[in-house]
A and B are shown apart, each in its own frame.
Chain A
Amino acid sequence: MIEFQDVTFVHQNGVKALDRVSLRIDSGETVAIVGENGAGKTTLVKHVTGLLKPALGNVLVDGQNTATTSTAQLSRKVGVAFQNPDHQLFSESVEEEMAFGLRNFGFPPDLVEQRVARELELFELSEYRKSSPLILSGGEKKRLTLACILAWDPEVVILDEPTVGQDSIQKERLAGTIKMLSASGKTVVVVSHDIEFLWPIQPRVVVMKAGKVVGDGPASKLMQERGLLDSARVAQPQLVEFYESLGSRPEAPFVDPLEARRWVEGGDRA
């Protein structure tokens, strides 16, 4: 469980990035943090691994205060895939890159080999096993960074803008991975501007604006609150807009385009 208790964070330049944020994320939840640029989304998640320490308030991960726990200790529980994969890739080969975190956390060599093989296969990177990670395409690099984190099986997975530079196929795969992680009981936190990507996942949505949490609830409900979304400069999913433009509607917005098509064509119309 992750708990933000009245957290305030001020940058060196005096900008208040988080303003008395209180938020609780339970184990096994899938949460999307949305908001305009500079709303404090990345700053918020950096507090979970202790990369940033709050000026006021507390951040607790499974009861451990992140202000007094090292990032290395917290990272064993919380894996963060940062926005730019080029900020972490440095090894001679893809398998070495994946083994880096595992070795840092003291995994025995046989388990390192086993975990690397498992993740390479899961993320369809086996053919690049001996290749330099620097020659991979943007999408492959993103997959590799996520694979690197999942290799040590953290309880919480945080994805910071995972869809930047990804094509539609990669986005679909990523959405599938998130659903798989949720199904396996992991806590998943996704920081993203990409509402169209988040909508089919149907996470709990936390809306941030100017360092504050201004909205919190299930996607199906929150994404219909146009006033809130407009004020936080968050776009409504196209399927929700379409649903709202219909004269007579089903009870809840469509999650999948096929669902919407079936309804329009009359098959599911009440």
Chain B
Amino acid sequence: MMWLSSGFIFRRGTSPYHKLDPRVKLLISILMFVTTLLVKSLYELAAVLAFMIAVAAVATVLRRVARTMAFTALFSTFIFVLNFVFTRNIETSLLYAARFVAIVVSTSLFFITTSPDELEQVMKTFRLPRDVVFAFVTAVRFIPVMFLDTIQIMDAQKSRGLELQKGNLLRRVRNMIPILIPLVVNSVVRSGELAEAMESRAYGSVPRPTSLVEYKTSLTDRAVAAAAVVMFVLVAYSFYFVLPTRIL
């Protein structure tokens, strides 16, 4: 489970992609995300996915992106089966399943290369309410903690004879109850403790606190952002006016 979770969790890196302004990384991820929604054929989607893999290679996170893909395998299989049942069209079903993988990879690329601190700064740039930013960033920060909690809870329950893979589907769902209840209870308790710790450190006493870090875009950041926008426009144009329509 930890192996899969690492496909979504930030780790510090020194690649050129890590060093980009977080707003530029967000822009690239949004553009990749939108592009996956614009594709009309498996060939186009394959090209988009290849581009994402190239970005992952530049960011030296190829292995972790592979884990992200592995994580989505079960869901995308489900999407494929569901689409095939209703459409009886393999190509359409494959497109939807692969599109889901591409969407997850595009967002994962942002989160695994952007620290929660950078994420906070990005959200502040959009002038979102401070409490909303804090709640979101804290939730992101706590994802690894919750994964760790889940593993420890599973270990504890397995040591009491719980067999998660035993029985039919209904039984397997019921087997998750001893995992989910302690996980939710621990999260609620932890959030209460966090709120108390924040208040005891004067959180909220200053309406508009100053920031230690002020992000300034460099020439490289601007060049990369401009290149991403130009590329997106060209790709979107080619999808609709150059390449033949295959599906949809």
Contacts and interface: CB of A to CB of B under 8 A. Distances in A.
Contact of A72 (B149, B152, B153, B161): B161
Interface string B106-129: 000000000000000000000000
Interface of B: 2-3, 6, 149, 152-153, 155-163, 177-178, 181-182, 185-186, 189
Contacts of B185: 86, 89-90, 134
Q: Is the interface of B mostly helix, strand, loop or mixed?
A: helix
12 contacts: A49-B158, A70-B163, A72-B158, A75-B161, A86-B185, A87-B153, A87-B182, A88-B153, A88-B160, A89-B185, A104-B161, A149-B160
A187 B158 CA distance: 20
Contacts of B189: 86
A88 B161 contact: no
A84 to B, nearest CB: 7
A75 B185 CA distance: 25
Interface of A: 12, 46, 49, 51, 70-72, 75-76, 78-80, 82, 84, 86-90, 100-101, 104-105, 134, 148-149, 152
Contacts of A78: 159
Nearest to A145: B156
Nearest to A73: B161
Given A87-B149, A87-B182, A80 B159 contact: yes
A104 B178 CA distance: 12
A90 B160 contact: no
A90 B186 CA distance: 11
B163 A90 contact: no
Contact of A49 (B3, B152, B159): B159
Nearest to B184: A90
A75 B157 CA distance: 10
B181 A90 contact: yes
A42 to B, nearest CB: 10
Contacts of B160: 75, 88, 100-101, 104, 148-149
Given A72-B162, A148-B160, 13 more contacts: A12-B6, A49-B158, A75-B158, A82-B152, A87-B152, A87-B153, A87-B182, A88-B178, A89-B182, A90-B177, A90-B181, A100-B178, A105-B161
Contacts of B149: 87
B177 A71 contact: no
Given A86-B182, A87-B186, A89-B182, A76 B161 contact: yes
A80 B186 CA distance: 20
B206 to A, nearest CB: 34
B161 A101 contact: yes
A149 B156 CA distance: 11
Given A87-B153, A90-B178, A104 B162 contact: yes
Nearest to A74: B159
A176 B152 CA distance: 28
Nearest to B158: A71
A136 to B, nearest CB: 13
A122 B177 CA distance: 28
Contacts of A100: 160, 162, 178
Contacts of A84: 152
Contacts of A72: 158, 161-163
A90 B164 CA distance: 16
